[in-house]
Amino acid sequence: MSGDDLARLLYLGILLLFLLGVFGFGRRASLRGLRDVLIWVLIFLMAILAYSFRDRLRDSLFPVTTSAISEDAIELRRRPDGHFYADLEVNGAPVRFMVDTGATRIVLSRDAAEQAGLDPGALNYLSRAQTANGEIALAPVRLRRVVFGGLEARDVRANVSSGELGISLLGMDFLDRFSRIEIEGDRMLLRL
């Protein structure tokens, strides 16, 4: 939902409250009518608050489940949004990734790049990529160390996004390090 959509929603909510007030107080100005209007105001504000914190609520209600079922296999569970997520260690820092088979390389968000010890402001954004949210500029980098379950890779080629990338992407060049990738129902199995 864009900022304009949120503004429209807020406007319609205020209009609804005004109409409730007019009809509620036009018939009889009582404390009960005022109470009813205040209850609706609280419901509306709670809905806006819940929407604002939807990502945090989702992460706490449906945590990423990455489990090593053996030394040579990792299992991921599909999240309610339909994607698979994984927690990796990049240059010693924990980073959450969305598994993206449409991405060629690892793409770090600006925040994840900073966590991994990179300075996004000092990078050269030389290439561009098309995402679901539009075009973004990318800076090529090398990651000293990436750990995912029993897999440890060094000197990994990756990119850092210049723009608003909500989550880092785990691309195919890293996934190709696994000998086998199986998706069955709501689980993804990665075998070394």
- Structure confidence at residue 21 (pLDDT): 65
Give the Cβ contact number of residue 134 at 10 Å: 8
Encode 159-180: b = buried (16+ Cβ within 10 Å), e = exposed.
Answer: bbbbeebebbbbbeebbeebee
Q: What are phi and psi of 46, to 5 degrees?
A: -65, -40
- % of the chain exceeding 90 in pLDDT: 29
**151-161 and 168-170 beta bridge pairing:** unpaired
What's the CA gap between 148 and 135, in Å, rounded? 28
Q: What is the mean pLDDT of residues 152-166?
A: 88
Residue 6 has pLDDT above 70, yes or no: no
Confidence of residue 55 (pLDDT cuts 50, 70, 90): low
What is the gyration radius of the CA atoms in the chain, in angstroms?
23
pTM over 0.85: no
What's the CA gap between 123 and 117, in Å, rounded? 12
Name the nearest CA neighbour of 170 among 63, 118, 93, 97. 97
What's the CA gap between 58 and 164, in Å, rounded? 20
What's the CA gap between 82 and 86, in Å, rounded? 14
What's the CA gap between 77 and 97, in Å, rounded? 13
| Tens-digit pLDDT profile for residues 123-154 | 899 988 877 777 889 999 999 999 988 788 99
| Tens-digit pLDDT profile for residues 91-123 | 999 999 999 888 889 999 999 999 999 998 888
